[in-house]
Copies of this chain bind each other. A is one copy, B any other.
Amino acid sequence: MISVDEARTRILADLRPTPAEIVALANAWNRVTAASVVARLTQPPADVSAMDGYALRAADGTLGATLTQIGAAPAGHPFAGTVGAGQIVRLFTGSVVPDGADAILLQEDATKDGDRITVNEAVAAGRHIRRAGQDFAQGDAVIPAGRKLTARDVGLAAAANHPWLSVHRRPRVGILATGDEIAMPGEPIPTGGIVSSNSHALAALVRASGGEPVVLPIAADTKEAVAAVADSVLGLDLLVTTGGASVGDHDLVISGLQTRGLVVDFWQIAMRPGKPLLFGNLGAVPVLGLPGNPVSAMVCAILFLVPALARLSGLPAAPPPATTALLGAPVRQNDQRADHLRATVGTDAQGRLVVTPFPVQDSAMLRRLATADALILRPSHAPALPTGAEVPIVRLDSLGL
């Protein structure tokens, strides 16, 4: 058995970011840039007013002065002439400052009487003028490669005049559930059987992590049925299996796929829930085999599949983001298997995060998993800890997982 960290390192070392594709700016939110976004223009393109008001020569803008309005420059309609001594031009936020002017008189500091404008507050040269290129200049790399685009980034790419962006293709992740006992929701359930939940939870997790799930038909519990899946993996960036990987008579995923060339890297990890975790390669396609228990499958997916999807998507590959909280109940000493306790998160009277593990941690209790706010990370051989001790946690709610 290898450690969680070593397993993750070996998985990530085997994965490469997907190639680039071009998407419309309107579809680029939450995608990962495959190239830096370089500004195609300078912003602002010229010196512009930061306020509604008037453009004039600073020397003319003394308290009490009265100037002659010679024109107006609404945004998008620059004033073509030059502002001379004693002259003033109406403008608005974003209007280009006309030639000759070097100061802005704010609208609220002016009195207008026909074309006569009186200065009620002295101006300062350059004040309220946004200089050309203050935001960015043509040729600037305004967004780096490998960034998951936020709404703000999309706005910035638009301002830099990009109708299309080069992003990493969404990783295509095949999801294979195995087992004679499972049925799809709404379909007839075999005697003694249950409804498949893992493939649906994993498909959602793949979506939440920027991937494209490909849910394969459920494979029966025979070597041949599992082996036949090898024909479905062409074009996948990763194959995820659930179940059939435990010790015993039913380690069908390994034996079935080995008949089609599966090379196993490792298949046991010192962790709980989820010891039987498989990683290997089926030709060019990496294979991640998750346990069949729904809770084990999801915990392993959070620890390994989410970072794998980050790596495939072109993002930095890292463990799931951890923070710390104070224990709301004591925890026992841990054995050699790193544990991941399902827990609720609240705050104490001082506003500090408090994490309280569920008293029962059964790996088949999906309902409890769904109501958990966090996993408490318990390293191998971690000592017993009292209420109030600080522990590392992974928040689940904020990740959409």
B142 touches A370 (CB 8 A): yes
Residues of A in contact with B (beta carbons under 8 Å apart): 25-26, 28-30, 41, 43-46, 50, 52, 73-78, 90, 92-96, 107-108, 130, 134-136, 140, 142-143, 148-164, 179-182, 184-186, 189-205, 207-208, 215, 221, 246-250, 292-294, 298, 324, 351, 362-370, 372, 396-398, 400-401
Given the complex, which residues of B lie within 8 Å of A50, measured CB to CB? 362-364
Shortest beta-carbon distance, A251 to chain B, in Å? Answer: 10
Given the complex, which residues of B lie within 8 Å of A294, measured CB to CB? 155, 159
B298 touches A107 (CB 8 A): no
Select one of B93, B107, B293, B351 contacting A292, CB under 8 A.
B93
- Which 8 A-B pairs have CB atoms at the shortest separation, nearest pair first? A155-B201, A76-B181, A163-B186, A76-B180, A151-B204, A78-B192, A29-B204, A159-B197
A163, closest chain B residue (CB):
B186
A77 touches B192 (CB 8 A): yes
Number of copies of this protein chain within its complex = 2
A149, closest chain B residue (CB):
B204
CA distance A292 to B50 in the complex (A): 11
Given the complex, which residues of B lie within 8 Å of A366, measured CB to CB? 43, 135, 152, 155-156, 159
A74 touches B29 (CB 8 A): no
B161 touches A25 (CB 8 A): no
Whether A158 contacts B76 in the complex (CB less than 8 A), given A204-B29, A248-B52, A400-B29, comes out as no
A74 touches B185 (CB 8 A): no
Given the complex, which residues of B lie within 8 Å of A397, measured CB to CB? 150
Given the complex, which residues of B lie within 8 Å of A372, measured CB to CB? 152
Shortest beta-carbon distance, A114 to chain B, in Å? Answer: 16
A154 touches B76 (CB 8 A): no
Select one of B156, B192, B193, B248 contacting A107, CB under 8 A.
B248
CA distance A52 to B246 in the complex (A): 9
B151 touches A202 (CB 8 A): yes
CA distance A92 to B364 in the complex (A): 14
Whether A107 contacts B191 in the complex (CB less than 8 A), given A215-B26, A396-B152, comes out as no
A-B contacts, 26 listed (Cβ < 8 Å): A26-B200, A26-B215, A30-B207, A30-B208, A43-B194, A44-B194, A75-B180, A75-B250, A76-B193, A92-B249, A95-B192, A107-B247, A130-B364, A135-B368, A136-B367, A142-B367, A152-B298, A152-B372, A154-B201, A155-B201, A155-B204, A156-B369, A158-B199, A159-B294, A160-B195, A163-B185
